[in-house]
Amino acid sequence: MRSPWTWTALAAVTGVSATLPFLLAGGDGPRPLSAAEARRMALTPLRAYRDSPAEVTVRAPLPGGTAVVRAVVDEHRHRAVGWFDTGDAAERGLLAWDGAGLEVARPKVDGSAGPLARPASTAEAVRDAARLKPTAWIRRRYGPASLDTALRLTLSLAAARPDDARRIARSGRRHLGTDRIDGRRYDVISAGDAPLTYWIDAAGRLRRVSEDLDDDRTIVVDVTGARVRPGVPEGPWAKS
């Protein structure tokens, strides 16, 4: 029986997936942010904006598994292009998204739609997308699927100016502890009433953000900071 998750529609689905855990070390449990932490967090969207375009890895829960997206996100243009994989060879392909919706494609070598081998890297996926004919992309608006929520989240992490540190300090955000990713230390900070958690380094750069969904599932976006050239191609939007 074919999976309800199809590349042609990326249908809105729900399901159960194991939450990706993080281990907190140090401190005496959740506490209010210090003034210095609030100032550092205020710089996070600006640093993300200045570091863009950059590579991200998205993990969104699906029924019985996880959708993984590796892409380059241009926060200046609010566009992203990359590769998605649901764990099924028949359900993988290229993916592009912006503020209004997403597009999917599975290109052949000649630029038409068809089977696609897994790209060796995000840069290769971006090059594949740049070579693809505009007619190979299938577009739809966002729906309630967890992947849709995750893709929209990636476009909300940056701003051309810093946030207001005083507002952040009053927002109810909490310092949850510290964590290590790839050997580096990060402060883990909750977003007050919002179901978001941020991993931020000593310079205010965002490394990870997670969003808890209503049914105990969790979306995770890792921001590697790696630059991908030539960035986001125009192809997916050429016919818009």
CA–CA distance, 125 with 60 (Å, rounded to integer): 19
**Which residues contact residue 18 at a Cβ distance below 8 angstroms, ignoring those fewer than 6 apart?**
none
The tokens describing 208, both together, are: 């990870």
Q: What is the pLDDT of residue 22?
A: 45
Low-confidence ranges of the chain (pLDDT < 50): 1-23, 109-113, 115
Whole-structure pTM value: 0.84
CA–CA distance, 237 with 135 (Å, rounded to integer): 10
The tokens describing 214, both together, are: 């209503």
Instruction: Provide the residue count of the chain.
Output: 240
Q: What is the pLDDT of residue 73?
A: 96
| Main-chain dihedrals φ then ψ at residue 29, nearest 5 degrees | 100, 180
Q: What is the pLDDT of residue 116?
A: 59
Query: What's the pLDDT tens digit per position in 172-186?
Result: 999 999 999 999 999
Q: What is the pLDDT of residue 106?
A: 67
| Main-chain dihedrals φ then ψ at residue 154, nearest 5 degrees | -60, -25
Nearest to 102 by CA among 59, 57, 145: 145
Q: What is the pLDDT of residue 89?
A: 62
Write the secondary structure of the chain as one string of H (helix), E (strand) and C (coil): CCCCCCCCCCCCCCCCCCCCCCCCECCCCCEECCHHHHHHHHHHHHHHHHHCCEEEEEEEEECCEEEEEEEEEECCCCEEEEEEECCCCCCEEEEEEECCEEEEECECCCCCECCCCCCCCHHHHHHHHHHCCHHHCEEEECCCCHHHHHHHHHCCCCCCCCCCHHHHHHCCCEEEEEEEECCEEEEEEEECCEEEEEEECCCCCEEEEEEECCCCCEEEEEECCCCCCCCCCCHHHCCC
Are the C-beta atoms of residues 56 and 212 closer than 8 Å to each other? Answer: no
Q: What is the pLDDT of residue 27?
A: 54
Are the C-beta atoms of residues 124 and 113 closer than 8 Å to each other? Answer: no
Q: What is the pLDDT of residue 108?
A: 53
